[in-house]
Structure 1
Amino acid sequence: MLGAFVNAFRTPDLRKKLLFVLFIVAIFRLGSQVPAPGVHVANVQECFNSIEDGSIYGLINLFSGGALLQLTIFALGVMPYITASIILQLLVVVIPRLEALKKEGQSGQAKITQYTRYLTLALAVLQATGIVALARTGNLLPNCNRDLLYRDSWQTAALMVITMTAGTAIIMWFGELITEKGIGNGMSILIFTQVVATFPASLWAVQQSEGPWVFGSVILIGLIVMAAVVFIEQAQRRIPVQYARRMVGRKMFGGSSTYVPLKVNQAGIIPVIFASSLLYLPTMAVQFNQDSQSQWVQWISTYFVRGDHPLYMIAYFLLIIFFTYFYVAINFNPQEVADNMKKYGGFIPGIRAGKPTEEYLSYVLSRITFPGALYLGLISLIPLVALILVNANQNFPFGGTSILIMVGVALDTVKQIESQLQQRNYEGFLR
């Protein structure tokens, strides 16, 4: 991986692209530290330093690189875009018009991207309104009795909502600039940046609270977990496919062999986001409900506010497994793959084309989805177990959402760099 970056910096045009990406990332991180207008920075910082990372907005705060709870102009981070993208992916399966757009190719995908942008801005307005409302009532930061805003007025609230929504639009623009003029997927790199931004603070918190021996053990376990994640993220079942020869006019087509790659982790990180978001809903309801004597409020506060309770862990684990199967079912259609293979004269050796091929693909997919779901569930439980063992926070660096994002984005970016290096080497050879 390091060698790929070194070789990329030796190539002039790739060096320009990498420096452009670093420039955008630097501006992005700078904006994540600039407070929104009307925010009392001293009070926010004092309350922020005195709380744990187990608040109801822990996942959004992770994706904002800690900017959310500090009420900066980029407080929403990339979370509205992630949510909008997931919603559009689900709607493509449900709404025939969107499914037709997806099949149109590049023009249809551009239209879906445009819908994603509109939905992102709408979600940003909703999320910003909720965050500002919590900041005005003092419920955003737990156990904070200080005023987070200089003036509690609707003008200040409206200005903050507009600023945070504009920040989300700028983040989308940054992501598109990186995709167009840099290397890799722009939004993925920005997500990677925000997650990595919380990494040193999480490690230093373990060092300060538990000492060097526990810190060293955490680093060692983290390297083992990272190696396991890299191995499983790369793992795939390759189903061989052969294409029969056929005459089209005077030309012969087909006769080649290829494969259908089915990854062990076919769903990616989406099930973890789904499960985390669903578990935040009852906690958020408690946060807005001030009746602490209510039985359901006390029950949720006992079992679902923090992640160190066994009931929370079991619910989290089962939800991840459920959403893994759910997302794989809507994202990979064995019937469509079997029909396309039959249309172009392809077949799996030993399996008849058509319905038998569809049943075989469904069987193989269900077999590899189960270990993939277990893998996601176990990796996601690492920070919750660390919360008990080493008194770490729920954004424990070596596990859960953070490690999956870091490894996934890093592998994808390195692959793109290596492909571009390979392309330039071939061009030089041809010259």
Structure 2
Amino acid sequence: MKKFIATIKNIWTIEELRNKILFTLLLLLIYRVGSYIVLPGLDPNQLTNLANSSKGGMLGLLDAFVGGAFAKASIFALGIMPYISASIFMQLMTILVPQISKIQKEGESGQKKINQWTRYLTVIVTAFQAAAYIGFLKSSNQGALLPAFQPYFWVSTVVLLTTGTLFVMWLGEKITDKGLGNGTSIIIMVGILARLPQNFMQEFTAKQTRGGGGLLIFLVEIAAFIAVILGLIVLVQGVRKVPVNYAKQIVGNRQFGGARQFLPLKVNAAGVMPIIFAQAIMFLPTIFLGFQTTGKSWALYFTQPTNLVYMIVYSIMVIGFTFLYTALIFNPRQVSDDLKRSNGFIPGVKPGQPTTDYIGTIMDRITLPGAILLAVVGILPGIAQLLGVTQGFATFYGGTSLLIMVAVVLDTLQQIETQLLMRQYDGLMSSGRIQGRQSVAPGVTGNM
């Protein structure tokens, strides 16, 4: 406890770090306040059907990402998700389209162009999703719309939802520039965490009605929840260390190289992206149906996490996207060339193509178990719900929600620890260093 108090004091004594933390908390407070501002023209007391319709399935997941703003018909109902969709699309374009890739390699000016295109694309995506959201509001909450405001509702809602998404995007960029960094990831994490206390109490109340046996089941669920978090930490930070030797070089009277180091290859190099890609594709039928899933049996296969077909299709997609995205972001030949230029080599492996093949083989071997574990994490909420966990609390047993929470918390702690070590303070942990992780959308969301 004394160590923890001393660490807090050290953090508070660093003016730069203290200002970053306070600035981040201020912007997050603004975001949370905006999540409770209802769209004009709606009666908040008549939105019970909207809350019930967005409890389960993919709508429940979307509502979790935006901190409950979707179910409240808030001006931030779509949150930062359109920006993430646009960022993912632009990132794929930089990999698949040579012209855009060339612009990205122009340095800061090229990155500014891509960021500006991402913002324009965000407006288009938000407008499209806002139109679908309006159809969902009108169909499930006809009594909530005030008759006098009905002629203006469509235009005002599209404008406000688009403006709200752009404002949240701006908040994320400011957190990245002047706050703790990774603003978009932190905003998503806060939205997810905002629902945890309420869902925790709902689960406790549901189990308490069963008597003593229910309380024991609740304790078992908490133990399983902690075990899943520990497993995710291992998955996020797990690496395969490939030994690398560097040849000795003598320049004048000084010797360089000759050290033995390790090349860390991440078990989950793709991060959370395969789950996001898979969920985005599974979510498409819901968007085309105007967020409606009732009465359309074929759509239930893509919207209900407890459905066996959903689990199988979802797992296959996660595994496939894990290999695809890892192949896009990790280039064994580039790693081999970098080792060759720095006079490094893997013991027992010839430089050049043999090194490339060796690194590629290792990545394939460690990516497979990583992909399978990622798929298991993705379907854990559905399994938990089948075992009797309430819908809200089951979303925290895995999937994108918990994976983003664990990854963002680790990355934020790693940045705070770096600030402490730079000023010769002790780190946050007595042993070892906290490893960072990739952003929600690596390479593109670094500015979020």
TM-score normalized by structure 2? 0.84
Q: CA deviation at 1:251?
A: 9.2
- Work out which of the residue numbers 335, 354, 360 in structure 1 matches 2:352: 354
| SS of alignment partner, residue 241 of structure 1 | strand
Q: CA deviation at 1:325?
A: 0.8
Q: 1:106 to 1:350 in 2, by over 3 A?
A: farther
Alignment RMSD: 2.8
Deviations 1:358-411 (A, max 9, x none): 111110111111111111111121110121111421662232111101100000
Task: Give, in whole Å, the separation in 2 of the partners of 1:173 and 1:287.
Answer: 28
Q: Which moved more, 1:164-173 or 1:305-314?
A: 305-314
- Work out which of the residue numbers 164, 177, 181 in structure 2 matches 1:184: 181
Q: 1:116 to 1:248 in 2, by over 3 A?
A: farther
Aligned to 1:387: 385
Aligned to 2:60: 58
Contact kept in structure 2, 1:179 and 1:185, CA below 8 Å: yes
Deviations 1:296-333 (A, max 9, x none): x43444x4442222121111111111111111111111
Task: Give, in whole Å, the separation in 1 of the partners of 2:114 and 2:261.
Answer: 30
Q: 1:11 to 1:75 in 2, by over 3 A?
A: same
Q: CA deviation at 1:283?
A: 4.2
Aligned to 2:78: 76
Task: Give, in whole Å, the separation in 2 of the partners of 1:116 and 1:384.
Answer: 33
Aligned to 1:397: 396
Contact kept in structure 1, 2:244 and 2:260, CA below 8 Å: yes
Q: 1:31 to 1:219 in 2, by over 3 A?
A: same
Q: CA deviation at 1:256?
A: 5.0
Task: Give, in whole Å, the separation in 2 of the partners of 1:281 and 1:115.
Answer: 23
Q: 1:217 to 1:60 in 2, by over 3 A?
A: same
| SS of alignment partner, residue 384 of structure 2 | helix
Matches within 5 A, 1:8-407: 8-44=11-47, 46-51=48-53, 53-136=55-138, 138=139, 141=140, 146-148=143-145, 150-151=147-148, 153=150, 155-211=152-208, 212-244=215-247, 255-285=258-288, 297-301=296-300, 303-393=301-391, 396-407=395-406
Task: Give, in whole Å, the separation in 2 of the partners of 1:319 and 1:362.
Answer: 22
Contact kept in structure 1, 2:43 and 2:144, CA below 8 Å: yes
Task: Give, in whole Å, the separation in 1 of the partners of 2:408 and 2:294.
Answer: 43
Output the amino acid matched with 2:176.
Answer: T
Deviations 1:142-201 (A, max 9, x none): xx5634455574532111111111111111111111111111311111111111112122
Aligned to 2:429: none
Q: CA deviation at 1:2?
A: 5.8
Q: 1:334 to 1:32 in 2, by over 3 A?
A: same
Q: CA deviation at 1:285?
A: 4.4
| SS of alignment partner, residue 424 of structure 2 | helix
Output the amino acid matched with 1:162.
Answer: V
Contact kept in structure 2, 1:210 and 1:390, CA below 8 Å: no
Task: Give, in whole Å, the separation in 2 of the partners of 1:413 and 1:257.
Answer: 30
Aligned to 1:429: none
Output the amino acid matched with 1:352.
Answer: K
Task: Give, in whole Å, the separation in 1 of the partners of 2:148 and 2:348.
Answer: 73
Aligned to 1:7: 10
Q: 1:112 to 1:286 in 2, by over 3 A?
A: closer
Contact kept in structure 2, 1:283 and 1:300, CA below 8 Å: yes
Q: CA deviation at 1:51?
A: 4.1
Contact kept in structure 2, 1:92 and 1:98, CA below 8 Å: yes
Q: Number of residue pairs matched?
A: 416
Q: 1:238 to 1:313 in 2, by over 3 A?
A: same
Output the amino acid matched with 1:365.
Answer: M
| SS of alignment partner, residue 397 of structure 1 | helix
Aligned to 2:410: 411
Task: Give, in whole Å, the separation in 1 of the partners of 2:260 and 2:155.
Answer: 60
Q: Which moved more, 1:380-389 or 1:392-401?
A: 392-401
Structure 2: segments with no counterpart, 5+ residues = 209-214, 426-448
Contact kept in structure 2, 1:40 and 1:150, CA below 8 Å: no
| SS of alignment partner, residue 239 of structure 1 | strand
Q: 1:231 to 1:298 in 2, by over 3 A?
A: closer
Task: Give, in whole Å, the separation in 1 of the partners of 2:46 and 2:80.
Answer: 25
Output the amino acid matched with 1:164.
Answer: L
Contact kept in structure 1, 2:50 and 2:137, CA below 8 Å: no
Q: CA deviation at 1:55?
A: 4.7
Task: Give, in whole Å, the separation in 1 of the partners of 2:96 and 2:254.
Answer: 40
Contact kept in structure 2, 1:203 and 1:397, CA below 8 Å: no
